[in-house]
Structure 1
Amino acid sequence: MREIRRLDDKHHFTLVCHDFAQMGQLVHLGNAQFRAVKAATPGPYTFILPATGEVPRAFLHPKKRTVGVRIPDHRTVSALLEELGEPLLSSTLILPGESEAMTEGWLVKEELDHHLDAVVESGEVTAEPTTVVDLSEEVAEVVRVGAGDPSRFSED
């Protein structure tokens, strides 16, 4: 992924989980974080949280020791995660020099077939990315506004 997207080592990868129990093995959650994440999942949110020792070092932010996690509400992804029984590493597929994410399976296969083992086509998907919320500190910080409503994480 780093090679395809030309990402540096400070990029937060996302571990996509089937359920909250699986997520809980990968990140440390205090009570407030637990409630916030539980209320917003499954859904269009990615949460940056302190990682447990279960997360490989290559997936961590090098200084913060955090990782992005999410529980999607997409049927195909959820079924795949359930069958695998473990999380998948994910990153929005925005190629260098592009501003839009690639979302059409045939195009991904055409452009990147020589880099990938498989492409799963699951029909039309929205190109809007998730809302990213950093919960690694005391106060929640909305890092990117996307498909999920960010107001649930403001202190108003």
Structure 2
Amino acid sequence: MSQIFYIHPDNPQTRLLDQVVKILNDGGVIAFPTDSGYSLGCLLDNKHGVDRICQIRQLDKHHNFTLMCRDLSELSCYAFVDNTTFRLLKNNTPGKYVFILQSSKEVPRRLMNEKRKTIGLRVPDNKIDLALLELLGQPLMTATLILPNDDQAQSDPDEIEDRIGHQLDAIVHGGYIGEQPTTVIDLTNSYPEIIRQGSGDTKPFE
């Protein structure tokens, strides 16, 4: 059964997040709040953790995961970012966006889009996430927590515990979060392409 950590959304408790970091470093899989609902996460090099996330969500091996980074400097380690793209990212992060970018060699081949060699990256606008990423010192490999036969991301951590608590190592309880899907922007071409309209403003990319 998973451990539950009640984290204050505005003043995250470092001593509790330190325990979550230890679970992640030990190969754990967690559910945690973001600015767009709850997500599943594990470390980038945790192949077994990625397999467990795929099992929970019943995903095939071609699913596009998202790397959650604490800031732009970390993001640019995992993707090729030119000056124009950097300015665009700087003006719109942190926020409710996932950006599709060309993967760097830091991204394991099994995690990138096979044909296009791309990866989804985001810098969240959520104090719990940013505090966790700062303590972790590396990105989180994430997938939105949409359970099989559901249409929307999980928003209630108590329901997450009831439904899949036995499949997780930890649940970061950050309160109820309404459904606010991210906007997905493809920045791999000469102009931004809006792949999915979500709660992030698309005007800067049109």
The secondary structure found in structure 1 opposite 2:120 is strand
User: Is the contact between residue 9 and residue 61 of structure 1 (CA under 8 Å) also seen in structure 2?
Assistant: no
Instruction: Give me the whole-angstrom Cα distance separating, in 2, the residues matched to 1:106 and 1:58.
Output: 32
TM-score when normalising by structure 1: 0.93
| Equivalence for 2:102 | 50
1:99 aligned partner: 151
Which AA in structure 2 matches 1:140? P
Which of 169, 173, 181 in structure 2 is aligned with 1:129? 181
Q: Name the structure 1 match of 2:169.
A: 117
| TM-score of the two chains, using structure 2 as the length reference | 0.72
When residues 30 and 90 of structure 1 are mapped into structure 2, their CA distance, relative to the original with a 3 A threshold, is same
- Secondary structure of 2:171's counterpart equals coil
1:148 aligns with 2:195: no
In the alignment, structure 1 residue 84 sits paired with structure 2 residue 136:
yes
1:108 matched to 2:150: no
Deviation, structure 1 residue 124: 2.6
Provide the rounded CA distance (Å) in 2 between the counterparts of 1:33 and 1:9.
29
Whether the 8 Å CA contact 1:133–1:144 is kept in 2: the answer is yes
Percent sequence identity is: 41
Q: Secondary structure of the equivalent of 1:107?
A: helix
| Unaligned 5+ runs, structure 1 | none
Write the letter of the residue equivalent to 1:141: E
The amino acid across from 2:169 in the alignment is D
2-structure distance, mates of 1:9, 1:66: 15
How far apart are the structure 2 equivalents of 1:35 and 1:21?
12
The answer to whether structure 1 residue 22 and structure 2 residue 74 are counterparts is yes
Which consecutive segments of 4 or more residues in structure 1 shift more than 6 A? none
Change (3 A) 1:114 1:58: farther
Structure 2 unaligned residues grouped into runs of 5+: 1-52
* Larger strand fraction of residues: 2
Helix, strand or coil: the match of 1:4?
A: helix
Matched AA of 1:135: L
Residue identity opposite 1:103 in structure 2: S
Secondary structure class of the residue paired with 2:175: coil
